[in-house]
């Protein structure tokens, strides 16, 4: 069995997005104020927690859209509550899950151009996924985890890793 572009992208993003949602669940019951969590950051010059969630969510859904040649659902990046951040994550999950596997065909060589102020990046799909999209996604997932951990939310490595893709034995045991 060969690894498809869908196999190398969608499950990774879904796992990370679900882990982020779980991090927010733990933050909600931590006893820390919601405003404090939303604005928490590791350093003065870095984006706050809310932006880390927004950027991870955007990174996942925009990558899938770019690889498959479709538009992605937009948000206005104005989430002001943890519930709204969870809704953005859910939007991203729903978009990825609804993407037809056939849409990934040819995505390995699809030209993908990314433009930021002062930066122009040109990729083929496979290089975009492996050298930019996945590392960028996990940067923001890692920062969200680190911000919450630094703020005192009780988190461990399993919270960051999310659901593992374990082999199942015939009797259901792992």
Per-residue pLDDT at 6 exceeds 80: yes
pLDDT of residue 174: 55
Q: Residues 159-168: pLDDT tens digits? A: 888 887 777 7
User: What's the predicted TM-score (pTM) here?
Assistant: 0.92
Contact 23, 148 (CB under 8 A): yes
Nearest to 23 by CA among 53, 54, 47: 53
Residue 162 CB: number of other CB atoms within 10 A? 18
Q: Residues 62-107: pLDDT tens digits? A: 999 999 999 999 999 999 999 999 999 999 999 999 999 999 999 9
Q: Which domains does the chain have, with CATH numbers?
A: 12-161 (1.20.120.450)
Gap between the Cα atoms of 117 and 97, Å rounded: 31
State mean pLDDT over 134-157.
96
């Amino acid at each position: 069995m060969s690894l498809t572009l869908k196999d190398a992208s969608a499950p990774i993003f879904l796992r990370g997005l679900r882990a982020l949602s779980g991090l927010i669940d733990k933050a909600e019951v931590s006893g820390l104020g919601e405003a404090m969590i939303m604005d928490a950051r590791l350093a003065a010059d870095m984006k706050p927690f809310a932006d880390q969630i927004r950027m991870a969510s955007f990174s996942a859904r925009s990558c899938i859209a770019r690889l498959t040649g479709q538009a992605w659902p937009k948000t206005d990046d104005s989430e002001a509550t943890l519930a709204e951040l969870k809704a953005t994550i859910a939007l991203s999950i729903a978009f990825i899950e609804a993407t037809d596997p056939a849409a990934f065909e040819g995505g390995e060589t699809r030209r993908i151009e990314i433009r930021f102020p002062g930066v122009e990046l040109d990729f083929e799909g496979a290089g975009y996924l492996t050298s930019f999209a996945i590392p960028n996604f996990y940067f923001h997932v890692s920062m969200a985890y680190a911000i919450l951990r630094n703020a005192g939310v009780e988190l461990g490595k399993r919270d960051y890793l999310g659901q593992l893709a374990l082999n199942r034995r015939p009797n259901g045991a792992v």
